[in-house]
Chain A
Amino acid sequence: MSKPSVGTKKRDFWWMCVVPLYLFTLAFILGPMIYMVAVSFATNNPSGYGFQWIFTLENYLRIQDPTYLQCFRQSFELAFSTTALTILIGYPYGYYMGRLSPKGKKLMMFLVMVPFWTSSLIRLYGWLILLQAKGVLNGLLQALGLIEDPIKMLYTYPAVLVGMVYALMPFMILAVYSSVEKMDWSLVEAARDLGASPVKAFWTVTFPLTLPGLLSGVILTFVPSMGLFFIADLLGGNKIVLVGSLIQDQLTRGSNWPFAAALAVLLMAMMTLMIVVYRKVTHVSELEGRL
């Protein structure tokens, strides 16, 4: 923790810097989590408002109902397809971005970051304008004579998928880019010198070396995509019930906090499990680090 040359006074100072951080984490992250787990075992008030501290497993048993299970299924399906699509587009993008000249890198980085200057909600409304029946895309297709009547693009599953991939793409690109950038290209050259084809060199050298970046990209897209329910609400016309919107629904309209807490705890447990499995399978110990 401290180098031998550092004196006592400096060590004390270091200690004081870190304590507020720990206190903050304990009070505002761990505390609420413990509270949430506790609430998930409480009994909902039969009158519909508030809850009582009576232990029950009913909230967890209730999730077995097909109505709620299908929300989990739909959420996972959407998260999987979103992640798969972001890999398909984001990996090559990040890869080529990492191989550009410093000037090119700066420009590409700028282009990836620009959308973040606008609120994500406003960018989603942009998609609404593009996709709606009397919108830009339908107008273009009609003007080109490719279609006669507008296609119903908005409020469909593909529309939601497009919105999700759009919102989460930068995380994949930047994660892949950072690992490509750090890569030692002399290793690839060595492989080529020893007779490996470009494809073989990619799969045996480049890909494993950029895997940590790819995996952190996967986690950065998969985990939030379970919770970005406002995209499904706006572009999907509220027709896909994700776990995120189910939790919000139970907290507000449904007025069942213990059930909402149980759903949230289960979702978090699933996410944690998934991250552990990722690490075990890929032997990645540090998400940003080396193999």
Chain B
Amino acid sequence: MKRKAFKFGSLLLALVLLVAGLSACSGGETEEQMVLYTWEGMFPQEVLDGFTEETGIKIIYSNFDLNETMLEKLSAAKGGDYDLVIADDYIIEQAVAQGLVGELDKSILTNFQNINPLYQGQFFDPENKYTVPFGAGIPLIVYDPEAVDFEITGYSDLWDPRLEDSVAMIGNYRVVNGITLLSMGESMNTEDTAVLEAAGEKLLGLAPNIRMIQDDNTQNALLNGEASVAFLYTSQVTTALAENPDLKVVYPEEGLGFGIMGAFVPSAAPNAAAANKFLNYILEPENAAQCFNWLGYYCTIGAADELVNPALVVPDSVTSGEIVQNISADAEAVHNKNWIDFKAACGA
């Protein structure tokens, strides 16, 4: 009797262990994951959670500050490690050139036609093979009409001596050099070094008006009274306006600088299928609208235009914007020098 009980007990134990082992195995299988690599705060948590709920794929959110950091890491990983990257247009062109970008899987991307064609066929992906545009930005001038006693209409006004020590600037050298070029009637992408040197010279004249240069949360300087005028990225413009609706936004008369963020799947992505599924998920109009309302960038998913905050749908006049593109090494060198000279002149 005792022996039987023992036998039965050990059988039971073995069974329990077997079941436990099996469930542990299957538990490992459902832990499918994808690594999303982009700036901090690009997605509302509900969208990320919604995707995990629908597909069971866990999202690991990894972030970078600068496009260049991303390119360095991706290049060090030979296009691996990350499943989906969202970054700016010009860096995507470099990533494509280095063979770090894989083609999209259109068989999974059934919502691909939801994209607003205005943002497609751009220089970084002329055949729409690699990227899903995800938000467009237009750096704009915002000012506090109470602190500025004249009307600002364009970039040239930033040079006005009445704005001494009161302009907050984003720290993007191509954009800041670019608006100097636009104010001179030149293209932001000119490769003529003589023109670029002249722009550098002109930029030095802006230095006395600069209160501070910063790339993150630049709008705070405007909101806490450190600066009365700010040249800001789109998301910062939206944040500033939400905080203080009395601020005035200027669509500069010289023309607009335009930037598009794009999502791509790296060439050696460990889980490319999951990345494509995620892209398809955010191309759904409801999900896209949720994303753009959160992000505060111009909506690039046309199918979501009706659902999104109307302020984030591009006005007709904006289509003439120029995108900052990669330029020759010589031109780039002048840009670099202009920028360091400018920053040093600001501190002098």
Chain A residues packing against B (C-beta within 8 Å): 46-49, 65, 67-68, 70-71, 74, 132-135, 150, 152, 154-155, 157, 233, 236-241, 246, 249, 252-255
Contact = CB atoms under 8 A, between A and B. Distances in A.
Residue from A71, A74, A253 having most chain B Cβ neighbours under 10 A:
A253
Given A67-B341, A152-B165, A155-B226, A74 B347 contact: yes
Interface stretch (B66-74, B149-157, B249-257, B294-302): B66-74
A246 B347 contact: no
A254 B211 contact: no
A48 B69 CA distance: 15
A252 B340 contact: no
Given A47-B329, A150-B225, A252 B347 contact: no
Contacts of A254: 336
B284 interface: no
A157 B68 contact: no
B171 A71 contact: no
Interface string B56-76: 000000000010110110010
Contacts of B336: 253-254
Contacts of A157: 347
B224 A133 contact: yes
Contacts of A241: 340, 343-344, 347
Interface residues of B, number: 29
Given A49-B98, A255-B68, A237 B344 contact: no
25 contacts: A49-B75, A49-B94, A67-B337, A70-B344, A132-B226, A134-B225, A152-B165, A152-B226, A154-B212, A155-B211, A233-B214, A237-B210, A237-B346, A238-B212, A238-B213, A239-B212, A239-B343, A239-B346, A240-B343, A241-B347, A246-B340, A253-B68, A253-B173, A253-B336, A254-B336
Contacts of A71: 340, 344
A195 to B, nearest CB: 53
A240 B69 contact: no
Contacts of B191: none
A51 to B, nearest CB: 13
Given A46-B329, A48-B329, A252-B66, A67 B226 contact: no
B344 A155 contact: no
Contact of A252 (B72, B210, B341): B72
B225 A237 contact: no
A237 B213 contact: yes
A134 B344 contact: no
Interface of B: 66, 68-69, 71-72, 75, 94, 98, 165, 171, 173, 210-214, 224-226, 329, 332, 336-337, 340-341, 343-344, 346-347
* 6 closest A-B pairs by CB: A237-B212, A239-B347, A238-B213, A240-B347, A239-B346, A133-B225
A241 B343 CA distance: 7
Contacts of B211: 152, 155, 237
A238 B69 contact: no
A67 B348 CA distance: 13
Contacts of B347: 74, 157, 236, 239-241
A275 to B, nearest CB: 28
B214 to A, nearest CB: 6
Contacts of B94: 49
B305 to A, nearest CB: 34
A155 B225 CA distance: 13
Residue from B71, B225, B341, B344 having most chain A Cβ neighbours under 10 A:
B344
Nearest to B338: A67
Contacts of A47: 329
Contacts of A133: 224-226
A157 B347 CA distance: 8
Contact of B68 (A135, A237, A246, A252): A252
A71 B344 CA distance: 8
A67 B68 contact: no
Nearest to B346: A239
